[in-house]
Chains A and B, each alone.
Chain A
Amino acid sequence: MDVTLGLLDHIPAGDDGGGAPSGGSTTARSILTGSKEDNMNTMVISGEVNSSYPIVDENLDDLELGLGLSIGGLKSKAVVATGGWTQYARILTAKDFSASLVSKPNSCSSSSSVNIPNSSTSGTKRTATDSVSPPNGTSVVGWPPVSKAHRIPSSANQIKSSTENFISKPEQNKSKNRTIGMKDCSDERNGISNKKYRSVKVNMDGTLIGRKVDLNAHTSYEMLAQTLHEMFFSRWSSTEAVKPSRLLAGTSEFVLTYEDKDGDCMLVGDVPWQMFLGSVKRLRIMKNSDCNELAPRFQENNERYRTDSV
């Protein structure tokens, strides 16, 4: 069974409402949805923690060095024994994303199977962007009274609304408590949280205009994939071919790659999130056909991480 524990950083949201000047609207939204996505990730992954303990334990025994990513002193057995909530470096597989994304309502369709408590009066035809309901607690339709006209169209808003509707209140509170407990790990995270934002350019093959995305507002590959999906593929939402999960897994028509510090073109998802943040310079969505030489590398990396574990 794949190890599917995720690395979660709670990046304090709401630094300043303004966000970055260039690529402004996107990044501002991204910053502020950090915490909401966190809850989603926490909830999804927490379920998997229990079931994978035995496997993790076994692997940890072999581990001499941790990867040094926001883990305060990885002492294998002690950690497991306390049953405390700690973090593990993420090993991402396609299964990761499909598992957690399957439960997310497709933000652009009117899925009647998802219980959207606040929009019952708005009818099912409205997309999630239209029936954005406010977060945690208030759950009031149409408040504040900002009409469609004056809502800044942004990917992050769409992410928020789809997760909002999915998570019920008690779970949101529970998740929030958990993420707070994680705050005291890692100086690396502190280093990042000092920066207001960190945006990198994203270009897609075949599209003239590049975009910018704020990496600090994202806590996982999955979140990043969702943002990019909304940015570039929002009009194709009905197309199966470009679901965010498949974007990362490299099974769709497009592949997400990045250029690192050394100028090399790497496949996104290989390395743990924090390491990725440290080395990424810009992102590029390539057509799958251009990218074949990278595929073996992905597999190779995957193997390596699996044996060394964590």
Chain B
Amino acid sequence: MDLDQKRTRTVDRVVDSVDRDVESPESTPMCPFPDEVLEPVLSLINSHKDRSSVSLVCKDWYNAERWSRRHVFIGNCYSVSPEIVAGRFPKIRSVTLKGKPRFSDFNLVPEDWGADVYPWLIVLAKAYPFLEELRLKRMAVSDGSLEFLATNFPEFKALSLLSCDGFSTDGLKAIATYCRNLTELDIQENGIDDLGGDWLSCFPESLTSLQVLNFASLNSEVSFNALEKLVTRCKSLRVLKVNRNINLDQLQKLLLQAPQLTELGTGTFTQDLVTRPVADLETSFGNCKNLQTISGLWDTNSLYLSVIYPACASLTFLNLSCATLRSFELTMLLMHCKSLRRLWVLDTVGDRGLEAIGLWCPLLEELRVFPADPFEQEEVAGVTESGLVSVSRGCPKLHYVLYFCHQMTNAAVATVVQNCPGFTHFRLCIMNLGQPDYLTNEPMDEAFGAVVRSCPNLQRLAVSGLLTDLTFEYIGKYAKNLEILSVAFAGSSDLGLKYVLGGCPRLRKLEIRDCPFGNAALLSGLTKFESMRSLWMSACNLTMNGCRVLAKEMPRLNVEVMKDEDSEDSQAHKVYIYRTVAGPRRDAPPFVLTL
């Protein structure tokens, strides 16, 4: 087989050589690998990153890949247009779309910014009438969109809405009513209008296919009768997460009907009047042999927590972020949870509770400690550096941590990463702004220096506390695999950002707020931004002119500035920069200027 002949047919020369192992002696010179073979092989590849690489090999592979792709992942809905997607991939069954920048979770993005899913739905309805799955994150979804979705896709099966807003329970009614083959309805943490719970009663009697139902974040009461019937007839149900209005008696009835559950989100987990003995509940939990995840557990205490002990041995994920447990309650619970891989808790458990984690959960891989009262200025008990150190001592496999605390030391962080060098995600939030190492009064630079030096696999980092440019020098120099970086109230000068943009070869998402980084720093990353998904900078020292220069130099970036009534005209208060093949936004609201 003539390698030169093959090379002239390539579209992109990114991959220089063809893997000789896949060449078949029977293949003709024109097509070394027939589509009939290639497509089935490629259909086994699911990771979108791998598929992206496959499509770059040669034109044949590009075509084979596009015909065999069933799921498309779009990390930034404005980086591409729905028409382009539909044009390239003819046979999509599942779409994942992400919209607003992550800082919109913290109210930094104004309402009506965009990321409306409706224009996508219109195109998808024409191109993929047999679409089965839609997963949206931080998109604006209206009731109209949900109705359109429910009525235009006859094969529609799975809907997942994470941190979306703009719809109400009326939209959910439409989904429940019209999606005859629904297998998944997953509503998480959205800003929605809860107009009442009777959407659940709209599921027809004939619907038995449901596998995933998550309405934990909705507030209104649903008809328990309808819920019980639904759970009873859906024998494949494996994920059920109810909201706080479902009480213990009701939960027990549900568990009776669905012992096959693998993930359970309870309702309120306490009761003034227990109508059944607590032992009954315990038995119900014992009967759920496949439970891997438990969440919910609102208002619970040790008395009621004990009923879940029979199910704890096989638990891999325990989400206690809605339960204000104290250290002794957590300790008693964890003694039963030896298989735990992921644990989310509130800081009410204190350092003592964290010690228990180190003691009882040696397999722990992920820990998230959320603040029970993040906005209380006076010194509240919470967790300190010693809690994190104790966990790191007992859990050598820990690789994901999200930790909210009021105080930290450089030495503690260094110890933590020494105990657990496998960190992939290190997100530390010292809640008091600009707080130094409380023992030495020095900046927290050395802490994050230790993190990036000791953890070669670090993919995601969030920094906090008093930080100088030195932190960023460390990051730029050592964090070779870093993909996501979040920075707030840190740095001393342009140098900080320059270091990061000059290093971190794998950087994809950079979000910065309230740092003294200016135009020079921004422009130092000119060539880097096209290899990134997006950059967010708010309340820094950028000006409109600086942004204009960037926009002019890099036409394939969208440089968007959000105007604020408060800020001066020359300042660029909020800047969102992202690569795109779709050109400037056509649906930008008046306060978003594309330069």
Interface residues of A (CB under 8 A from B): 13-14, 16-19, 21-25, 28-29, 32, 35, 119-126, 130-138, 140-153, 157, 160, 201, 208-210, 235
Please determine whether B299 and A25 come into contact, CB atoms closer than 8 angstroms.
Answer: yes
10 inter-chain pairs at a CB distance below 8 angstroms, sorted by A residue, are A14-B381, A17-B348, A21-B326, A24-B299, A126-B111, A144-B429, A144-B431, A148-B189, A148-B191, A149-B163
Q: Pick the contact of B375 from A13, A17, A22, A134 — CB < 8 Å? A: A134
Q: Contact: B324 with A152, CB < 8 Å?
A: yes
Task: Pick the interface stretch among B102-110, B252-260, B477-485.
Answer: B102-110
Complex Cα spacing A21 to B566, Å = 44
Smallest Cβ-Cβ distance to A203: which chain B residue: B272
Instruction: How many A-B residue pairs have C-beta atoms within 8 angstroms? Tell me.
Output: 163
- The CA-CA distance from A35 to B562 in the complex, in Å, is 37
Residue B177 lies at the interface, judged by CB distance under 8 Å to chain A:
no
**Are B433 and A14 within 8 A (Cβ)?**
no
Q: When the two chains form their complex, are residues A28 and B373 in contact, meaning their CB atoms are under 8 A apart?
A: yes
**Interface residue? B283 (CB, 8 A):** no
Distance of A28 from chain B, by nearest CB (Å): 5
Q: Which of B335-370 contact A (CB under 8 A)?
A: 346-350, 370
User: Which residue of chain B has the shortest Cβ distance to A122 in the bound complex?
Assistant: B107
Q: Which of A134, A138, A209 gathers most chain B CB within 10 Å?
A: A209
With an 8 A cutoff between CB atoms, is B123 at the interface?
no
State whether B111 touches A125 (Cβ < 8 A): yes
Of residues 359 through 395 on chain B, the ones whose CB sits less than 8 Å from some CB of chain A are 370-382
- Asked if residues A21 and B350 are in contact (CB atoms below 8 Å), the reply is no
Asked whether B302 is an interface residue with its Cβ less than 8 Å from the other chain, the reply is yes
Residues of chain B within 8 A (CB-CB) of A14 are 376, 378-381
For the complex of A and B, the 3 pairs showing the least CB-CB separation, nearest first, are A142-B106, A123-B111, A21-B301
Q: Is the CB of A17 within 8 A of B382?
A: yes
Contact B381 A18 (CB under 8 A): yes
Among A13, A22, A32, A160, the one with the most B-chain Cβ atoms within 10 Å of its Cβ is: A22
Q: Is the CB of B322 within 8 A of A146?
A: no
Question: Which residues of chain B are near A140, meaning CB under 8 Å?
Answer: 433, 514
- Asked if A18 and B433 make an inter-chain contact with CB atoms under 8 angstroms apart, the answer reads no
Quick check: A201 and B272 within 8 Å, CB to CB? yes
* Interface contact A208-B247, CB-CB below 8 Å: yes
Using known A-B contacts A136-B377, A201-B272, determine if residue A22 contacts B301 with beta carbons closer than 8 Å. yes
CA distance A124 to B349 in the complex (A): 36
CA distance A133 to B106 in the complex (A): 10
Contact of A13 with B191 in the complex, beta carbons under 8 Å: no
B466 to chain A, nearest CB (A): 15
Give the distance to chain A from B164, nearest Cβ to Cβ, in Å.
Answer: 11
- In this complex, the member of B106, B370, B429, B488 whose beta carbon has the largest number of chain A beta carbons within 10 angstroms is B106
A145 touching B272, Cβ below 8 Å: no
B325 contacts A by Cβ under 8 Å:
yes
Given contacts A32-B380, A123-B110, A235-B219, contact A22 B299 (CB under 8 A): yes
Beta-carbon contact of A152 and B372 below 8 Å: yes
- Nearest Cβ on chain B to A26's Cβ, whole angstroms: 8
Inter-subunit contact A210/B272 (CB<8 Å): yes
Contact A130 B111, beta carbon cutoff 8 Å? no
Q: Which residues of A contact B323 (CB under 8 A)?
A: 24
Contacts A119-B107, A137-B377 given; indicate if A18 touches B326 (C-beta within 8 A): yes
> A146 and B325 in contact (CB under 8 A), knowing A21-B302, A141-B107?
no
Within the complex, the shortest CB–CB distance from B397 to chain A, in Å, comes to 24
Partner of B324, one of A21, A134, A151, A153: A21
The smallest C-beta distance from A3 to any residue of chain B, in angstroms, reads 33
Contact of B378 among A35, A131, A209, A210 (CB under 8 A): A35
Q: Which residues of A contact B379 (CB under 8 A)?
A: 14
A283 to chain B, nearest CB (A): 13
Total B residues in contact with A, Cβ cutoff 8 Å: 65
Q: Decide if B52 is an interface residue (CB 8 Å cutoff).
A: no
Is B372 within 8 A of A145, CB to CB?
no
Please tell me if B209 contacts chain A, counting CB pairs below 8 Å: no
Chain B residues near A125: list those with CB within 8 A.
111
B residues near A24, Cβ cutoff 8 Å: 299-301, 323-325
From residue 499 to 530 of chain B, which have CB atoms closer than 8 A to chain A?
Answer: 513-514
Please, how many angstroms separate the alpha-carbon atoms of A121 and B563 in the complex?
9
Asked whether A121 and B110 contact (CB < 8 A) given A16-B381, A149-B188, A201-B272, the answer is yes
Give chain B nearest CB distance to A179 CB in angstroms: 13
When distances are taken between beta carbons in the complex, the residues of chain B under 8 Å from A16 are: 380-381
B375 with A19: CB separation less than 8 A: no
Nearest-Cβ distance from residue A38 to partner chain B, whole angstroms: 12
Partner of A143, one of B300, B302, B322, B488: B488
Decide if B112 touches A209 in the complex (CB within 8 Å). Answer: no
Sample of 10 more A-B contacts, CB < 8 Å, known A18-B348, A23-B270, A148-B105: A13-B376, A13-B378, A17-B381, A18-B350, A22-B300, A121-B574, A123-B111, A138-B377, A141-B108, A147-B189
> Given A18-B350, A22-B299, A210-B272, A144 and B111 touching (CB < 8 A)?
no
Q: A138-B433, A142-B107, A144-B374 are in contact. Are A25 and B268 (CB under 8 A)?
A: no
Given contacts A17-B348, A25-B324, A132-B375, contact A147 B163 (CB under 8 A): yes
Q: Are B299 and A17 within 8 A (Cβ)? A: no
Contact in complex: B324, A160 (CB < 8 Å): no
Contacts of A151 in B (CB 8 A): 374
The residue that A150 contacts in the complex, of B220, B298, B370, B564, with Cβ under 8 A, is: B370
**Within the assembled complex, what's the spacing in Å between the Cα atoms of A140 and B433?**
10
- Whether A160 pairs with B381 at a CB distance below 8 angstroms is no
CB distance from B435 to the nearest CB of A (A): 12
In the complex, what residues of B have CB within 8 A of residue A209's CB?
A: 245, 247, 268, 272
Chain A nearest CB from B81 CB (Å) reads: 26
Who on chain B is nearest to A16 by CB? Answer: B381
Q: Point out the residues of chain B lying under 8 angstroms from A119, CB to CB.
A: 107
Within 8 A of A (CB), among B534-587: 562, 564-566, 574
Rounded to whole angstroms, the CA-CA distance of A136 and B377 in the bound complex is 7
Does B404 lie at the interface of the complex (its beta carbon under 8 Å from any beta carbon of A)?
yes
Question: A208 vs B275: C-alpha distance in the bound complex, in angstroms?
Answer: 13
- The residue that A135 contacts in the complex, of B302, B377, B566, with Cβ under 8 A, is B377
User: Does B228 count as interface, using CB distance less than 8 angstroms?
Assistant: no
Smallest Cβ distance from A226 to chain B, in angstroms? Answer: 17
Say how far B320's CB is from chain A's closest CB, in angstroms.
11
Q: Taking the nearest CB of chain B, how far is it from the CB of A127, in angstroms?
A: 9
Complex Cα gap A209–B191 (Å): 25
Which of A130, A134, A135, A138 sits near B107, CB closer than 8 Å?
A130
Q: How far is the CB of B588 from chain A (nearest CB, A)?
A: 16
Interface positions, chain B 79-115, Cβ under 8 Å from A, are 103, 105-108, 110-112
Identify the closest chain B residue to A21 (Cβ).
B301
Q: B375 contacts which chain A residues (CB < 8 A)?
A: 132-135, 144, 157, 160
A18 near B106 with CB under 8 A, answer no
Minimum Cβ distance to chain B for residue A106 (Å): 17
Alpha-carbon separation in the docked complex, A18 to B328 (Å)? 12
The reply to whether A17 and B347 contact each other, CB–CB distance below 8 Å, is: yes
Contacts of A23 in B (CB 8 A): 270, 299
Chain B contacts for A21, CB-based, 8 A: 300-302, 324-326, 329
The residue in A24, A32, A125 that gathers the most chain B C-beta atoms within 10 A of its C-beta is: A24
Please tell me if the beta carbons of A142 and B377 are within 8 angstroms of each other in the complex. no
**Assembly CA distance A52 to B567 (angstroms):** 45
Closest CB-CB distance, B144 to chain A, in whole Å?
18
Bound CA span A191–B482, Å: 55
Q: Known contacts being A14-B380, A235-B219, is A141 close to B106, with CB within 8 Å?
A: yes
Contacts of B380 in A (CB 8 A): 14, 16-17, 32
